[in-house]
Amino acid sequence: MKWLLWTLVALAPLRVTAETSPKKWAESLVDNPAPTDSLSDSATVDPVLDMADQTVMSQHSRHAPVTSQSESSLQGKALDRRRGLSLGDAMQAMPGVTVVHTGSTLAKPAIRGLNGNRIVILNNGVRQEGQQWGSEHAPEVDPYLASKLTVIQGASSVRYGADALGGVVLVEPWPLRTEPGIGGEIHLAGFSNNREGDASATVEGAPTWFPNGAWRLQGTLKKGGDASTPNYGLNNTGIEEINQSAALGWQKPRLGFDLFYSRFQTKLGIFSGSHIGSVSDLEAAMQRGRPEGISNFSYDIGRPYQDVTHQFAKAHAYLVTPMQGKVNFAYALQNNVRAEYDHRPLNDALAARNLPELEFEIMTHTADLTWDFHPQEEYDAALGMTGMSQINTYSGRPFIPNFLNYNGGAFATLLKHGRQFDLEGGLRYDTKFLRTYAREKGVIVTSAFEFDNTSAMLGGIWRFTEGTTGKLHFSTAFRPPGVNELFSAGLHHGAAAVEYGDPDLQPERAYDGTLALQAKRNRWSSELTVYRTYIRDFIYLSPEFPPTLTIRGAFPTFRYHQADASMWGGDAALRFTFLRQGGDWDYIGQASLLRARNEATGGYLILMPADRFVNGVEWTLPQWKGLTDLHLGANVQTVLKQTHAPADSLDYAPAPPGYSLVGLTAGFQWPLGEKASVQIELEAENVLNDVYRDYTNRFRYYAEDKGRNFALRLKIPLDLPKASGSD
Amino acid sequence: MSPFRTHLAPTLPWLAVFCLLGLSPISGCTDVSNPAESNESEVFTTVKLVLENNADSTDNPEATLKFKDGFGHGDALEKNDTLKLKAGASYSAELILLNESASPADVMSEEVKEEGIDHQVFYLPAGIALTVAYADKDATNHPIGLLTELTAGSAGTGTLKVTLKHQPGLKSHTSTVATGETDVEVSFHVTIQ
């Protein structure tokens, strides 16, 4: 088995990779590669719940549920209402999702409180591979490229590979056009707080001279200046982003091939008040309460800043097989270059060269092969193999070593459909080889590791009555220690701490049980998810004494340790139509709780989201004076103080008080001709301009969180009615 | 997890192809097995106080604090001299900052002097009768603190904390040791006899 996997790995770039998105998985059920929704079409997914925060929990309305896992997605108009936000912020308030911020520009999604290396992001069916280990490493994904964002909660390694302890994020673009003609759309968005403007355009076509062929070009421009809190501006928090993508495909019902390329480039200012040279600086910043040197609004991005470029190229093919099956194979190459610039060097000649203090380059080849088929009418089965090779190099200040990383994995899943009850199970085996190269006192030191592990899942889906579903899912998954956890040695600037890895760390293993109940009646719909997760050998940073003495003073010192951790939590959502008069009047409620403990010390885990609630009212009206889809809403988001945080001595400052923020939304469609319409969405965040700090924002030590923000979003179709691709 | 003895990892011939295609735009395709030398663009390794007794030019006490390889590697303190002063004497002092990880060593205090309007050195004696007065000024007439006058009081032992702050756009007549970003923060042992 293992040698089979290594053979796959050794074939490196010649390998193929699987399309692992559930959409494709679902498509194979209907033996027809027709897109589930096209670019120019407003999504027609039947929402179980349409939250005030614009989350749609899709219940696989077009297909029977294909997973016993708890999942939800954001698409169509609900996603359009969050355009212009970073991937993390766009997904925030989906059930089970929170965000770890580093200031106003860097957002990392967290599922069930776990982020970074403990979740997997699948961008266009391929594992996103960049630097993931720091909270200042935001995912390099253009959300304008997505037609659908899906969150799968809980340990999900069987289908998606190692590391997915918290869950998986799927970023799916639109399928290529199938109707002949040319179409497209333009998104425009403006934000008042940081005076940001975004423009994103897509043009696609299916030429008549190229039967079954289709192409697409897409690009996004984003420019924002300094954000501001209710009391002051945040210097050097501008953002610049330029993204492009292109796709070309040839798709017949039984066979198809497509190519995809995307380039994401961002330059992000790091709030100047957060840049500290020593722990005394951090203490002084907290004592001041208000950042020093506040200057006027500017679009300029100076040091410190990050400049990150992520390139992605993919070739994918499918073939319909006997047993109503479909084989998908894909090969993808990713190149991620992350340059981090600290303060300007003293030496003028050096400063003029404008070199980054730290630069990482990671190149990843992935190859996956999957076969989804139906051995018998009531069975869905899948077999798959994946391989990955990766090379990571650094220049500048050493913190983690260079490394080579090879992964191979194989999995099998089986689902049996019953009249009221579906049962599914799956198994996976992974092997990982890691070789690191570090330079210690001028001598190259190399270490090698091998991690072999199995993952498994078992689950059931009950359809109690029409509209009432229950899901129970058990899974186990593992995560090998990351290179930073094994080898980091030195100052982690983003964390103002000296961190040491431990090369003897063992993989983490998670055991996860989730119960999800959904009920839908005429006037209300509700969803409740509860989970319990036990992570054996959870890797965490533990303080060491005495602090490390450096030429910039004493720094707190941490070393990676392992201990068992246990987590439990729940998410609940309710939508209730309390009045049907001049449109629908809905109450929307949402609650999310999480507790995460270190079983060895009895303390709580750090940086876990506090308990939170949303209460809102939304009015919707299908049509009024030629306008369609009118809606108006108000909501209050309440976040409690995180009282389940580690002891104060383990953090620089105690958790900030809780807060409540008021938000407003409004929008409608303005028809242009018969089929097309312009979608106009208005939003106001933190309407009362409340002063607050969030526990999971790493910059809470330095400054308040963002103040009032108005957003205007427009979606303009490029289709002429005649050439419209909408169905 | 078991250490691997054989070099099983296949090489990546395709990597070269992708490098040629320009898919690796900035740093180029560095050799993974040859990690870069620590290439911190600018570090301080050494802080040196050089004194001259104002009443006796043959009395030239000095003290050096040196960290092994600059900042960020759990730097071991390589040299930690005690500054020995005479009770009641006054001294003209110069602070010298070096980057001895470069060869030849960079005199960082020259760079600090050049950008004097954005930098200031602060001196904080503790447990000892010592006063420090600034003896230099930047272009805007604020002290830099590379040149000082030290006056030793009665005999005793204590410490002198020396802090170099980078205060871009922040340095003023009200800025303090809490203003800006710390470039250097060390404590010398001081004995007054």
Report the alpha-carbon distance of residue A399 to residue A337 in Å, rounded: 16
Nearest-by-Cβ selection for B27 from A361, A489, A500: A361
> What are the residues whose beta carbons fall under 8 Å from the beta carbon of A148, sequence distance 6 or more?
A23, A43, A73, A74, A75, A79, A170, A172
> What are the residues whose beta carbons fall under 8 Å from the beta carbon of A362, sequence distance 6 or more?
A129, A130, A131, A334, A335, A336, A390, A391, A392, A393
Report whether A501 contacts A540 (CB < 8 A): no
For A83, A114, A328, A507, the CA distances from A148, given in Å and listed in that order, are 12, 22, 20, 32
Tell me what percent of the residues of chain B surpass a pLDDT of 70.
79
Q: Which residues of A touch B40 (CB under 8 A)?
A: 357, 396-397
Report the alpha-carbon distance of residue A276 to residue A279 in Å, rounded: 8
Mean pLDDT, chain B, as a whole number?
A: 82
What's residue A140's pLDDT? 95
The sheet carrying B82-85 orders its strands as B82-85, B181-192, B156-166, B119-126
Residue A528 forms beta bridges with which residues?
Answer: A517, A572
Report the alpha-carbon distance of residue A185 to residue A180 in Å, rounded: 16
Q: Which of A592-596, B18-22, B85-89 has the lowest mean pLDDT?
A: B18-22
ipTM of this complex: 0.81
What's residue A51's pLDDT? 34
The encoded tokens of residue B40 equal 């911190």
Interchain proximity A406–B181, CB inside 8 Å: no
Q: Which residues of B touch A435 (CB under 8 A)?
A: 4, 9
Nearest-by-Cβ selection for B36 from A10, A311, A394: A394
Q: From A351, which residue of chain B is nearest by alpha-carbon distance?
A: B41
CB-defined contacts A:B, below 8 A: 198
> What are the residues whose beta carbons fall under 8 Å from the beta carbon of A211, sequence distance 6 or more?
none
End-to-end Cα distance, chain A? 47
pLDDT at B20 over 60: no
Strands in A303-354 per DSSP E: 305-321, 325-341
- Predicted confidence band of residue B33 (pLDDT cuts 50, 70, 90): confident
**In whole angstroms, how large is the CA radius of gyration of chain B?**
23
The encoded tokens of residue B150 equal 């030290």
The encoded tokens of residue A269 equal 């200012």
What's residue A598's pLDDT? 95
Report the alpha-carbon distance of residue A699 to residue A651 in Å, rounded: 13
Report the alpha-carbon distance of residue B119 to residue B97 in Å, rounded: 13
Q: Pick the closest to residue A369 from A296, A308, A315 (CA basis).
A: A315
Q: Pick the closest to residue B83 from B135, B43, B123 (CA basis).
A: B123
Residues A662-717 have pLDDT tens digits of 999 999 999 887 778 899 999 999 999 999 999 999 899 999 999 999 999 999 99
What's residue B3's pLDDT? 34
**What phi, psi does B161 have (nearest 5°)?**
-90, 130
Residue A396 forms beta bridges with which residues?
Answer: A358
End-to-end Cα distance, chain B? 60
**What phi, psi does A413 have (nearest 5°)?**
-135, 150
Interchain proximity B181–A396, CB inside 8 Å: no
Q: Which residues of B touch A562 (CB under 8 A)?
A: none
B32: closest CA of chain A, how far (Å)? 6
Residue pointed to by tokens 């090879």: A406
- How many Cβ atoms are within 10 Å of A600's Cβ, its own excluded? 14
Our measurement of the distance from residue A68's CA atom to the centroid of its chain's CA atoms, rounded to an integer in Å, reads 21
What's residue A697's pLDDT? 93
- Compute the average pLDDT of residues B53-61: 94
Q: Pick the closest to residue A31 from A400, A374, A397 (CA basis).
A: A374
Q: Which residues of B touch A365 (CB under 8 A)?
A: 14
- In the chain, the amino acid numbered B178 is A
B84: closest CA of chain A, how far (Å)? 21
Q: From B14, which residue of chain A is nearest by alpha-carbon distance?
A: A13
A402: closest CA of chain B, how far (Å)? 6
Report whether A666 contacts A682 (CB < 8 A): yes
Interchain proximity A309–B25, CB inside 8 Å: yes
Q: Which residues of B touch A392 (CB under 8 A)?
A: 32
A578: closest CA of chain B, how far (Å)? 56
- Predicted confidence band of residue B38 (pLDDT cuts 50, 70, 90): low
What's residue A494's pLDDT? 66
Interchain proximity A13–B170, CB inside 8 Å: no
Residue A460 forms beta bridges with which residues?
Answer: A423, A472
Nearest-by-Cβ selection for B170 from A293, A439, A549: A293
Report whether B164 contacts B119 (CB < 8 A): yes
> Which parts of chain A have pLDDT scores under 50?
1, 4, 7-65, 721-727
Half-sphere exposure of A175 (CA within 13 A, CB side): 23
Interchain proximity A361–B39, CB inside 8 Å: no
pLDDT at B94 over 90: yes
- Sign of the torsion angle spanned by Cα atoms A138, A140, A145, A148: negative
Interchain proximity A553–B185, CB inside 8 Å: yes
Residues A125-144 have pLDDT tens digits of 999 999 988 888 999 999 99
What's residue A287's pLDDT? 87
For A281, A300, B128, B144, the CA distances from B176, given in Å and listed in that order, are 12, 27, 22, 12
Q: Which residues of A touch B8 (CB under 8 A)?
A: 6, 433
Q: Pick the closest to residue A490 from A396, A398, A361, A394 (CA basis).
A: A398
Give the number of residues written for chain A. Answer: 727
